[in-house]
């Protein structure tokens, strides 16, 4: 029950004020950033935490970061206990010291009022480059953390507002794009200071003690909504196993197993039975696996509630150390993003057995993401970040959306015009792929295709994709979406490439990638004929696909449905 000693109007005002602050922090990063990860792709997050590291609110950001924020803040508290001052900006990226993977740099900024620590303003940005053996610092074929780049334990970039020249010099010497990294770090600090100002305004309005009471109630409120929803779920053990195609080094499927045990108003998610940690850089720290389990359960609940640590209290996570979902030092993890998506898919697959009407079929299975590196005559290297986001699976009520990132990512594709104006690449093709959405009563979202032409004499390309062998699953009789594929020079001696590559291309080479299509929901034969016709009319399915998969015969000359043939096919689908 709501704490009756608190004013419900003030409760809502503070709730919305917190969200406004974190969203303003997000906008600050985007508008002050230098890299396409901040200005175009929005691969960053912002949050406010209390003095213990619990999340008070997270902006409209990336769920993949959410479970990592408390661990990162607590790592800083443990390192600097008694030595945290106003004006400190503590950064870290080391996954074995509270981080996720090296490109994700956390900035944790304490908020003091009257010399008392209230909490922390937090940002995390995926940086363009943090050193290591491959431009962009995301090589899938690194076999230990030492190959992946500059490792930063909790360290003060500024202390009492004074920038550390030593740390700044160290970072800039070890990254390929020092000006870009410096600018994005400055943007993170500015966003944290924006968060600090917003919280101090609230403290000055309500007082620190009263504000803390409302913040405790906000987390209790999220906890109650979460537990109330879970209490309606049937008790039991629900299991699902999904797979990564490979780790880019060993051509073997990698199982991700999720066992979800519902008991009363709580949930245990157990990843026991998932693959051992891999040789390639697809491994995850435990906080990453937690984030994906939290995101899946949050989606299955679907209620409007604050995104804070109260959402997680009813959820327990288990994962044996030394597995791909809880790696042991010195495992590599640069390309761990695709594993995060598969963890999400596995947990959602289990939850589909619990609340089938609230879980969608599988999305494209993770961002197909790449880094392009170009050497300049002066010896410097230009690094560019590009991706193919994404598509959603269908659900019991609607088709999956195409061109929309997975719920785990909440990011965007880089603008073609911006990319072509900044680096020697030409986008020759970019669009949705006909017949690629998983068939069903509700169709999965269409895959995307994108094609890059190399205009420089030479370029390094690191590319991470998946879902070729194990396509996005459908639900309730829905079919899988199409698989992904990457092709070198598709118009001339086309070569099918592995899902994960780290290679060099030369001028005139063309790299093509198509990500996977979303899974379908329900039997394709139950899809309304007019919806199939509408898909054909809008170029989403071909007439042949409509006939073979949906049993709807369309006369391409007249644009009409042949009712007699359609009736025969649908009455005798086999």
* Blockwise average pLDDT, block size 10, the chain, 574 residues: 80 96 96 92 94 92 84 97 97 97 98 97 97 95 97 98 97 97 97 98 97 96 96 98 97 97 98 98 96 94 89 96 98 96 97 96 91 92 90 96 85 91 96 97 97 97 96 98 97 95 96 97 97 97 97 94 90 76
Instruction: Report yes or no on 270 lying in a domain.
Output: no
- Is residue 482 located within the same domain as residue 560? no
8 Å CB contact between 88 and 159: yes
- Is residue 467 located within the same domain as residue 561? no
| Distance from C-alpha of 370 to C-alpha of 180, rounded to nearest angstrom | 18
- Is residue 202 located within the same domain as residue 160? yes
- Is residue 517 located within the same domain as residue 561? no
- Is residue 479 located within the same domain as residue 535? no
Instruction: Report yes or no on 321 lying in a domain.
Output: no
pLDDT in the model for residue 61: 76
Here the tokens at position 269 are 């998610």
Here the tokens at position 486 are 């990457």
Instruction: Report yes or no on 331 lying in a domain.
Output: no
Instruction: Report yes or no on 129 lying in a domain.
Output: yes
pLDDT in the model for residue 2: 58
The helix/strand/coil state of 488 is: strand
| Distance from C-alpha of 505 to C-alpha of 372, rounded to nearest angstrom | 10
- Is residue 563 located within the same domain as residue 458? no
State the virtual CA torsion across 191, 192, 198, 199 in degrees, nearest 10. 160
- Is residue 441 located within the same domain as residue 420? yes
Instruction: Report yes or no on 269 lying in a domain.
Output: no
Instruction: For residue 435, give the nearest of 418, 447, 422 by alpha carbon.
Output: 447
- Is residue 148 located within the same domain as residue 53? yes
Strands 254-263 and 236-244: what pairing?
antiparallel
Mind giving me the DSSP string for 370-407? EEEEEE-TTS-EEEEEEEE--B---BTTBPPPBS---T
Residue ending a domain, choose from 195, 222, 249: 222
* E strand or H helix at 195: helix 178-206
Residues 200-209: pLDDT tens digits? 999 999 999 9
Question: For residue 484, which phi and psi values (nearest 5 degrees)?
Answer: -85, 165
Contacts of 291 (CB under 8 A, 6+ apart): 63, 64, 65, 66, 67, 68, 340
Instruction: For residue 514, give the nearest of 461, 460, 446, 454 by alpha carbon.
Output: 446
Greatest pairwise CA separation for the chain in angstroms: 80
Beta-carbon count within 10 A of 16 CB: 12
C-alpha pair distances (Å), 1 with each of 15, 187, 218, 225, 466: 17, 40, 12, 10, 45
| Distance from C-alpha of 127 to C-alpha of 182, rounded to nearest angstrom | 10
Q: What's the whole-model pTM score? A: 0.96
Beta-carbon count within 10 A of 175 CB: 23
Here the tokens at position 488 are 């070198």
Instruction: For residue 367, give the nearest of 332, 347, 338 by alpha carbon.
Output: 338
| Distance from C-alpha of 41 to C-alpha of 29, rounded to nearest angstrom | 12
- Is residue 493 located within the same domain as residue 379? yes
pLDDT in the model for residue 409: 81
pLDDT in the model for residue 404: 87
Here the tokens at position 402 are 């195409």
Residues 340-355: pLDDT tens digits? 999 999 999 999 999 9
Instruction: Report yes or no on 38 lying in a domain.
Output: yes
- Is residue 488 located within the same domain as residue 548? no
- Is residue 478 located within the same domain as residue 534? no
Instruction: Report yes or no on 208 lying in a domain.
Output: yes
8 Å CB contact between 334 and 140: yes
Residue ending a domain, choose from 192, 222, 252: 222
Q: How many domains does the chain have?
A: 3
- Is residue 565 located within the same domain as residue 506? no
β-pair partners for 124? 45, 106
| Distance from C-alpha of 386 to C-alpha of 513, rounded to nearest angstrom | 12
Domain housing 423: 360-525
β-pair partners for 45? 124
pLDDT in the model for residue 1: 57
pLDDT in the model for residue 4: 67
Instruction: Report yes or no on 213 lying in a domain.
Output: yes
**Contacts of 261-265 spanning 24+ positions with Cβ under 8 A:** 261/236, 261/237, 262/230, 262/233, 262/234, 262/235, 262/236, 262/238, 262/354, 263/235, 264/230, 264/231, 264/235, 265/227, 265/228, 265/230, 265/231, 265/314
8 Å CB contact between 297 and 291: no
Residue ending a domain, choose from 187, 222, 257: 222
Q: What is the DSSP letter of 146?
A: G
């Amino acid at each position: 029950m709501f704490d009756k000693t608190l004013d419900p109007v003030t409760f809502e005002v503070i709730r919305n004020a917190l969200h406004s602050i974190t969203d303003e922090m997000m906008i600050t990063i985007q508008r002050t950033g230098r890299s396409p990860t901040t200005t175009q792709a929005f691969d960053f997050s912002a949050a406010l935490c209390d003095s213990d590291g619990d999340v008070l609110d997270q902006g409209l950001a990336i769920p993949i970061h959410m479970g990592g924020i408390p661990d990162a803040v607590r790592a800083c508290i443990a390192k600097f206990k008694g030595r945290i001052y106003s004006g400190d900006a503590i950064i870290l990226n080391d996954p074995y010291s509270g981080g996720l993977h090296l490109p994700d740099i956390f900035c944790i900024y304490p908020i003091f009022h009257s010399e008392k620590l209230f909490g922390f303003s937090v940002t995390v940005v995926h940086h363009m480059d943090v050193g290591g053996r491959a431009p962009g610092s995301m090589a899938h074929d690194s076999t230990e953390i030492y190959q992946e780049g500059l490792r930063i334990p909790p360290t003060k970039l500024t202390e009492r507002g004074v920038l550390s020249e030593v740390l700044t010099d160290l970072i800039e010497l070890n990254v390929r794009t020092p000006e870009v990294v410096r600018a994005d770090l400055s943007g993170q600090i500015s966003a944290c200071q924006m968060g600090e100002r917003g919280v101090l305004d609230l403290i000055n309005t309500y007082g620190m003690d009263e504000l803390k009471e409302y913040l405790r109630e906000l987390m209790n409120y999220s906890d109650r909504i979460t537990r109330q929803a879970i209490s309606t779920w049937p008790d039991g053990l629900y299991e699902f196993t999904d797979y990564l195609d490979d780790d880019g080094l060993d051509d073997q499927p990698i199982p991700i197993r999720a066992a979800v045990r519902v008991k009363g108003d709580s949930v245990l998610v157990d990843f026991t039975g998932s693959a051992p940690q891999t040789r390639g850089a697809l491994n995850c720290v435990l906080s990453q696996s937690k984030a994906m389990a939290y995101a899946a359960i949050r989606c299955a609940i679907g209620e409007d509630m604050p995104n804070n640590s109260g959402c997680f209290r009813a959820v327990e996570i288990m994962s044996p150390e030394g597995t791909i979902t809880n790696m042991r030092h010195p495992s590599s993890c640069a390309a761990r993003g695709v594993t995060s998506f598969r963890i999400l898919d596995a947990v959602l697959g289990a939850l589909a057995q619990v609340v089938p009407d609230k879980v969608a079929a599988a999305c494209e299975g993770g961002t197909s993401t790449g880094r392009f590196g170009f050497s300049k005559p002066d010896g410097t290297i230009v690094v560019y970040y590009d991706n193919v986001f994404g598509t959603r699976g269908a659900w019991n009520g609607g088709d999956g959306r195409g061109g929309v990132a997975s719920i785990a990512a909440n990011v965007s594709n880089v603008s073609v015009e911006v990319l072509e104006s900044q680096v020697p690449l030409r986008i020759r093709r970019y669009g949705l792929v006909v017949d690629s959405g998983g068939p069903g009563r509700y169709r999965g979202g269409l895959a995307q295709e994108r094609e890059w032409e190399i205009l420089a004499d030479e370029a390094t390309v690191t590319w991470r994709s998946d879902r070729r062998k194990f396509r996005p699953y459908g639900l309730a009789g829905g079919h899988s979406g199409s698989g992904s594929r990457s092709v070198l020079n598709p118009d001339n001696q086309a070569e099918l490439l592995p899902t994960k590559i780290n290679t060099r291309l030369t001028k005139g080479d063309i790299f093509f990638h198509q990500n996977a299509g979303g899974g379908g929901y329900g039997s394709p034969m139950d899809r309304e004929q007019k919806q199939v016709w509408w898909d054909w009319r809008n170029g989403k399915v071909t007439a042949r696909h409509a006939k073979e998969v949906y049993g709807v015969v369309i006369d391409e000359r007249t644009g009409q449905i042949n009712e007699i043939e359609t009736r025969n096919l649908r009455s005798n689908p086999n």
